[in-house]
Structures are given as structure tokens and as C-alpha cells.
Structure 1
Amino acid sequence: MASHSPGRTSRLSVPVEGCIEHCRIIHNGERLPGEYHVSSAVQEVRGRSGAYVWLALNQPSEEQMTRVAEHFNIHELIVEDAVAAHQRPKVERYDDQLFIVVRSVLFRDDEEVTNTRDVISTGEVQMLLGPDFIITVRHNARLPQLFADIDSDPEHYSAGPSAIAYRVSDFLVDQYVRIAGLLGNEVDELEEEVFTPGSDFSIDKIYLFKREILEMRHATDPLAGALNSLIKDHKDLIPKKIRSYFRDVLDHEAVVKDHIDGYDQRLTSLLDASVAKVTLQQNQDMRAISAFVGLAAVPTLIAGIYGMNFDNMPELQLRFGYYFALAMMFSIMGALFWWFRKNHWL
């Protein structure tokens, strides 16, 4: 039996294939059949003009990413960023390679929110672009299968790896647009709930959506600057046709940003309105309580006076003194009740 010295730990080396979702070659806009090993794919595209590799990875470890980088000659700083998740959207250039980060956003429905208290969850998609390859790295994000698109539109994907980057970015921003619409419906329902007279609403729900919309803003707002940089500063790496497509993605992102900013402002107004409504309701409740206390104080006062044990007190010997005291109590209480109702205390 093998023995291990104290203080040493053993680590299993996971092969790079463990994080690979697919490794395929696109030649002149057409997808070549079958899957490739990373090393064989690199050799294949270097022997073909107009060919590039699309390698898709899912949460690679540092060791796995380092081994992939050796095949594609990826800059070491890109390797470090590709392993680390939770980065803001950005575009960075290393010689003839681009590193693009786009955040993904997932919206959960009401039933899931009740259980998880989490409306918005975010992930990350990183794209490493070289002259003859694109590597997509997923971190808690979903990506579509684009091979049907490649087969149906070979001219588009013949533009190179940037065509894949555009399509992935377009898919993620389309999700922003869809989720912004769903959030708009939620905010509309909250407004109706808050401003409906007599409705029983929870301020916690407004805080929940405001917090999650802030999370979405952190994930989506920096993308505008990244896309602007991609379009304007890297024209030698991104073909003109693809740059025009990225401008369309930028326009959609701007629309989402406007919607999210509007929702944030509306939720702030809802918070102010709901706090004012709760304060008003509390004031009304306190007035009603004060009115009932005032009504109860009248008979208590009269009964307390006539309950004193003095020998010489007026009206004690009256035959109808008891009924007179009751009548006085109810008369004063009736007058107070009328006055409270007139002034909307009751």
C-alpha cells in the first residue's frame, strides 16, 4: 500500500476533454462533419485556407485552460481571466487575439422566486478570438447550438471567428430584451398592487425586485462600452460586415439599458409611494384608536366620579340618578361619535 507523507495532498489531473463541449471546424462558412481533438483541429485549419476552429468549453480548470492555451498560443493573461468567473463585460486585445466577456442573465418566474428569493441570476460567456479559432468558455450560462445557423447561412460564417462571436453576443443580448419585457410586466403588477385602494402589499417584494434589477444593471450596462471598443478600436480584426452586426447588438443593449433605468426609477417611486401609504394607514389607525379611547373615556370618567365614597354628593339620592348617568354617558358618546365620523376619524 502506498503511503503519503503528512501535509501532502493528492490531486487528480482531469483531462482537458472533461471540459470540452465540442471542437469543430468551419471551412468557408460550412461546418465540417464530426468532432476533432484539439491538436488535430489546429493542424487541420492550418492546412486549409478560410478555415477556423470553434472550441466550446464549460468551466475549465486552470490546468485544462493552460493545456488548451498551449495548442492555440493564447496569451497567459487571457488564460488567467478565462478561468476566473464574475468579470464585468469587456474587450481586451493581446496582439492578434481578442478576449471578449459578455454576461448572461436568467430570469426566474414567480413560483421560483417564492422558493429561492432570487429573480435574476447571472452567468458569464468568454470568447477568445484568434485568426483561425474561437474559443467560447461558459460559466453558469446557456448558449444555443448554432450549427443549424451555420448550415443555413454559410456566407455569414465565412467571415471568420468574429461571426460566431457576434451570434453568441446577439443571443445573450436578445435574452436581455426578453427579460426586460418580463421585468416590465412585474413592475406594472407591483404598481397596480401598490396603488389599488385597500390592497395588502409587501414592501419587501419591491426591495427584492430593486435589488435584482441592480444586479442586472451591473451585468448589462458595461457591455455598451465593450461593444463600442470592439467596433471602433479593432477594425483590423473584425470585418466590416460583422461590425455592422455588432452595431445592431449595441442598439439592442442601449434599449435594454433605457428600460432597466426606467424600471429602477419606477421602483424607487413605488418605494416612496408605498412608505407614504403605510404611514398614512398608520396615521388613520392611530386616529381610529384615539377616537375609540375618547369614546371609552367618557363613561369611565362619569362612572369614576360617581364611584367615589363621599357622604355628601349631589344626585346620589335621586330616584332616577342611575338612568340619568347612563343617558348622559350615551349622549356624550353619541355626540363624540358624530364628531369623529364628520372629521373622518372613524
Structure 2
Amino acid sequence: MAMTRVLPGRATMSLFKTRNRLHPVPVQAARRSTAVIDWAAYIDGHRVCTDSVADAVRLVRDGRLAPSAEESAGFVWVGLHEPSAAELHELAEVFGLHELAVEDAIHAHQRPKLERYDDVNFFVMKTVGYVAHDPAESEVVETGEIMVFCGPDFVVTVRHGAHGELGSVRGQLERHPERLALGPTAVLHAIADRVVDGYVCVADAVQEDIDEVEEAVFSPERTDEARRIYRLKREVIQLKRAVGPLAGPLRNLTGRRFVPDDIKEYLRDVEDHLTRVREQVESYDELLNPILQAHMTQVTVADNQDMRKISAWGAIFMVPTAIAGIYGMNFDKMPELRWDYGYPMVLVIIALSCLALHRGFRRNGWL
């Protein structure tokens, strides 16, 4: 690819003005007022720090850096977190980003996809994060998004949400210059690999929650796990929406010509991990359904047991109630009214009848 010298215009200079930076800025630099988290030029796999993104662009797009007209010696990597429309539009002027892709990156809430606009590939991935939760809370999985603009000599990453930070990805790549020397697609693979690793971690954490729920459902103690099961089902669906649609774009990415063969091998490995975690997440839904049915069955059985106990005690108390009702009718001629031992005899009959009913219900499992 022939490299041309591109001088940033007014929009470039206004967005990427000098920030008095002499050394690589860690992820904590996100506290600055701009959405730009970090930037750097990479020449033959080695990071070159510049005072501004404009300097990085000039450095990489200077034709003298290209060893031949068909090969680029470097690229620029700009990382942003939840940029405003103005910032991203100014960035689009610098790198020639398509307006439709820019609009998607601003508003987020996109499905995982891979689209091509001229020589720029736009890759969208869903990020997930497991939230340490209290049983009373309603959410254990949070989602975000990472949009990647991958061009011949640049990578622009736009991150939405609290999860999926890329500072560690950048640091890991910089420790392996031979990987960065492969170009922007090396960054694209590293980001996809980190996102899929996040899927694996969250899926394992959800598996632990499902195991806890299953153990609680089949424990001898009576607990109400229906709300927790429904919450897990909703989180599994949310996880499936992030994991499942990524398979197609990732498969298409491995077939693109702009991806070197060395990177394609790594991408196929990421695709394999994605397939395994997708099957794992799909099995969760199949596992939660019988757990919920078993819980509802146990609730029904417990309610029936309670009703049997109530009915048994009601039958026992009906005996003294019936006898007292008969002798409370105030008839003059009733048996044993004038007998001295009539009252004790009635008490004995009541006690023996209640004891016999109690033993019978206990023997039948009603009490």
C-alpha cells in the first residue's frame, strides 16, 4: 500500500492538541476531560510516543517510513471511551471514517457485526462483566460495547461501558513487538481475544451461581429460589445476545484478505474459544428450565403437605367440637345428663378419639 503524507487540518489540531505528554499514559488517564484514553504510533512493532495524535498521524503517514510502496512500516492506535459526537466526527475527518459507522459508534447499542467501508473495517463486539452481587440485587451481568475501526495504517477503538478496558491489551501487545509488527489486525485479534476471554470468565461465574441455586433447590431446607432462578435466566439470555451473534463476524474476519495468515491462525483459535463458550451458555438455559420446574414442583408438594397437616389437625379438633355441639343442644331428655360420671366419660371419649386420629394421621404421613 502506498503511503501518502497527510497533514491534519483544523479539526485534527483542535481535537488532538498537545497535552504535555512525554511518556506513555496509563489507563488512569481517563480522568482527563476528553474521551481519548491513549494513543501511540507503532513503527515496526515499537511504540513511539508523541505529544499529540496529530504528530502520531504525521509520523506514520510520512512516506519515508515505508520500506516499499506496497508495505506500511507502522500504524496509529487511538483509544477512546464513550466519546461525544463532536470528538468522533473530528476523528472521522482525520482517518476517513464512514459517517454510518461513526453514528453507530456514537449511539452504541449495536449487535456484534463486521462491516467494510472502502478500506476501513468496522468491527463491533459486546463486552460482558460479572458483578459481585447481593442475593437481593437484580443483576449479575453487565454489558458494554467495543467498536474497532481498522484501517491500513490505524486502529481506532471506541469503548462503551465500564467493562472491557483495553489498557492491559495495549501493554501486553507492546511487550511483544513482533506481534505489533504484523499491523492493525494484530490489535484487532488481541481485542477479540480479550473480549472472548471475558465471556469465558463470566460464563464460569454464572455456572457457579447456577450450581448454588441447584444445590439450594434440592436441599432439605425450604427456600424460595424462584426469583433468583428467573434472574439467572434473564442474565443467561443477555449473555447469549452478546456471545451468539459474534460467531458470524468473527468467522467472516478470518476470511478477509487484509488479515495476514499469521493472524488468521490466532483468529481461528479465538473462534474456537467462542464456540465453546457459546455452547456452554446455551446449556445454561437448558439446565435452568428443569431446575425451575423442580423448584415449582417442590413448592407444590410443600403446599400439599401443609394442606394435609391443616386438614389432619382440623379433623382432630372436629371430634370435641362435634361432641360439645351435640351436648349443647339443651334437650331435656339426653343420655347420661344426670349421671355423675357423664362429664368425665365425655372427656375420656374426646381424648381417646383425638389420640386415635393423631396416631392414624402420623402413621399415614399426614402429621
With normalisation by structure 2, the TM-score equals 0.86
Report the counterpart of residue 177 of structure 1 in structure 2: 200
In structure 1, distance between residues paired with 2:221 and 2:344 = 42
TM alignment of 1:231-250, pairs within 5 A: 231-232=254-255, 234=256, 236-250=257-271
In structure 1, distance between residues paired with 2:97 and 2:319 = 88
Q: Please say if 1:129 is aligned against 2:150.
A: yes
TM alignment of 1:107-126, pairs within 5 A: 107-111=130-134, 114=136, 116-126=137-147
Report the counterpart of residue 12 of structure 1 in structure 2: none
Report the counterpart of residue 276 of structure 2 in structure 1: 255
* Cα pair 2:216 2:225 within 8 Å, conserved: no
* Letter of the 2:166 counterpart: P
In structure 2, distance between residues paired with 1:179 and 1:198 = 29
Report the counterpart of residue 82 of structure 1 in structure 2: 105
**1:128 CA displacement:** 0.2
**1:243 CA displacement:** 1.2
Q: Which runs of 5+ in 2 are unaligned?
A: 1-13, 17-33, 67-72
Report the counterpart of residue 56 of structure 2 in structure 1: 41
Report the counterpart of residue 144 of structure 1 in structure 2: 166
Report the counterpart of residue 222 of structure 1 in structure 2: 245
State how many pairs are aligned: 327
In structure 1, distance between residues paired with 2:117 and 2:146 = 18
**1:68 CA displacement:** 0.4
* Letter of the 1:283 counterpart: N
In structure 1, distance between residues paired with 2:205 and 2:361 = 46
* Letter of the 1:254 counterpart: T
In structure 2, distance between residues paired with 1:102 and 1:65 = 18
* Cα pair 2:147 2:157 within 8 Å, conserved: yes
* Letter of the 1:68 counterpart: L
Q: 2:331 aligns with which of 305, 310, 314?
A: 310
**Residue-by-residue CA offset, 1:183-242 (whole Å, 9 max, x unaligned):** 11111111111101124243111111111111111111101111011112x1x2111111
Report the counterpart of residue 47 of structure 2 in structure 1: 31
* Greater mean deviation of Cα atoms: 129-138 or 256-265: 256-265
* Letter of the 1:343 counterpart: N
Q: 2:85 aligns with which of 57, 62, 66?
A: 62
**1:179 CA displacement:** 1.4
In structure 2, distance between residues paired with 1:80 and 1:29 = 31
* Letter of the 1:308 counterpart: M
In structure 2, distance between residues paired with 1:211 and 1:72 = 40
Report the counterpart of residue 5 of structure 1 in structure 2: none
Report the counterpart of residue 212 of structure 1 in structure 2: 235
Identity of aligned residues (%): 39
**Residue-by-residue CA offset, 1:66-123 (whole Å, 9 max, x unaligned):** 1101011111111111111111111111121100011110101234x64x42100000
Report the counterpart of residue 36 of structure 2 in structure 1: 20
In structure 2, distance between residues paired with 1:102 and 1:302 = 77
* Cα pair 2:128 2:164 within 8 Å, conserved: no
Give the match's secondary structure for 1:222: helix
**1:16 CA displacement:** 3.4
**Residue-by-residue CA offset, 1:278-302 (whole Å, 9 max, x unaligned):** 0100000000000000000000000
RMSD: 1.4
Give the match's secondary structure for 1:316: coil
In structure 2, distance between residues paired with 1:36 and 1:298 = 95
* Cα pair 1:30 1:150 within 8 Å, conserved: no
Q: 1:289 aligns with which of 285, 288, 310?
A: 310
With normalisation by structure 1, the TM-score equals 0.91
**Residue-by-residue CA offset, 1:10-55 (whole Å, 9 max, x unaligned):** xxxxx635111112101111111x2342333222211122110001
* Cα pair 1:42 1:72 within 8 Å, conserved: no
* Greater mean deviation of Cα atoms: 198-207 or 222-231: 198-207
